[in-house]
Amino acid sequence: MTDKSPAEPSPSVLDAAKIIRTVERLSQRIHERFPHSGLHRISQQLLTIARQTKERSEAIERPILWLRIVIGLLVLLILLGIIGAITRVDIPSGGLHFFDFVQALEAGINDVVLVGAGIFFLITLENRIKRGRAMRALHELRALAHVIDMHQLTKDPDRLLTRLIETPSSPQHAMSPYELSRYLDYCSELLSLIGKIAALYIQEYDDAQVSESVNEIELLTTGLARKIWQKLMIVHSVYHETN
C-alpha cells in the first residue's frame, strides 16, 4: 500500500503558494540591502496583496450557493406566474379577430422580452458579482505598479556619467552604481510579480473583461520594466568601466 502525496499543480499552472514565497524572498532581499526604503514598504504591501489574492481567487472560483438558490427560486416563481397567467387567459368562443390577435401577440412578445431580460439579469448576477471583486483587486495591482514606477522615476543613471549641477530641489543620489543597479532590478522584479499575481484571477475564472484587464496589467508592467532595463544597461556600462 502506497502513501498518497498531495496533488502537485500542473507545470502549466501558476502556483499561488510559490508566488507568495517568491514575493517573501524578494521583500527580504530588499530589506537586507535597503532596510529603510520606500521600496521595502511597497514589497511588504505586495506580499499582503499576494496572500489576499490566493484567498480572493479561490473565493471567486467557488460558486455562491445561497445566491444560486435564491435565483433559482425567483426564476421558478416567474415561470409559475407565466404559466398561471396563460391558464387564466379567457379566449372567446368565437375566436379572436385579426386585430385582437395582433394586439395580443404584440403584448405577449413584449412580456416575453421583459421576462427574458429579468431572468437573464438574475442568471448573470453571480458572474457580475465575481467580476466586480476581481476588477477591484486588479485595480489595486495596477495602482501599485504605478507607485513602483514613481520610486524608480528619480533614479537617473545619467548622473553617473556626468557631474551635474545640483539645485535645492534636485533628488538626492547617495547610491553607488552597484546599489542603483540592485534597486532598479528590484523594481523590475516587483513589476514582474504584479503581472503574475494578476494572472491568478483568470487561471480558473474565465471572464472576458477580467482577462482583458489582466492583459492590460501585463502590458503596463512590461512597458515599465522595459524603461527600467534601459536604465540598467546604462548603469551596467558605467559599473564595468569603473571596475
Residues 84-113 pLDDT 10s: 766 766 655 555 565 655 665 566 677 677
Q: How much is the pTM?
A: 0.76
Residue 4 lies in a domain: no
Q: Is residue 54 part of a domain?
A: yes
Domain membership flag for residue 231: yes
Instruction: Give the burial class of 44: count Cβ atoms within 10 A of its Cβ; 0-12 exposed, 13-18 middle, 19 or more buried.
Output: middle
Return the pLDDT at 109: 73
Locate 229 and state its grid cell: 532595463
In a domain, 19, yes or no: no
Yes or no: say if 27 and 190 are a contact pair by the CB < 8 Å rule. Answer: no
Q: Into how many domains does the chain fold?
A: 1
Q: Which domain holds residue 150?
A: 25-62+132-156+174-241
pLDDT tens profile 42-54:
999 999 999 999 8
Distance between CA 71 and CA 125 in Å, rounded?
Answer: 9
Question: What is the pLDDT at residue 130?
Answer: 92
For residues 75-85, give the mean pLDDT.
78
Residue 98 is predicted with a pLDDT of: 56
Instruction: Establish if 8 belongs to a structural domain.
Output: no
187 burial (CB, 10 Å; 0-12 / 13-18 / 19+) is buried
Task: Tell me, yes or no, whether 124 lies in a domain.
Answer: no
**Residue 192 belongs to a domain:** yes
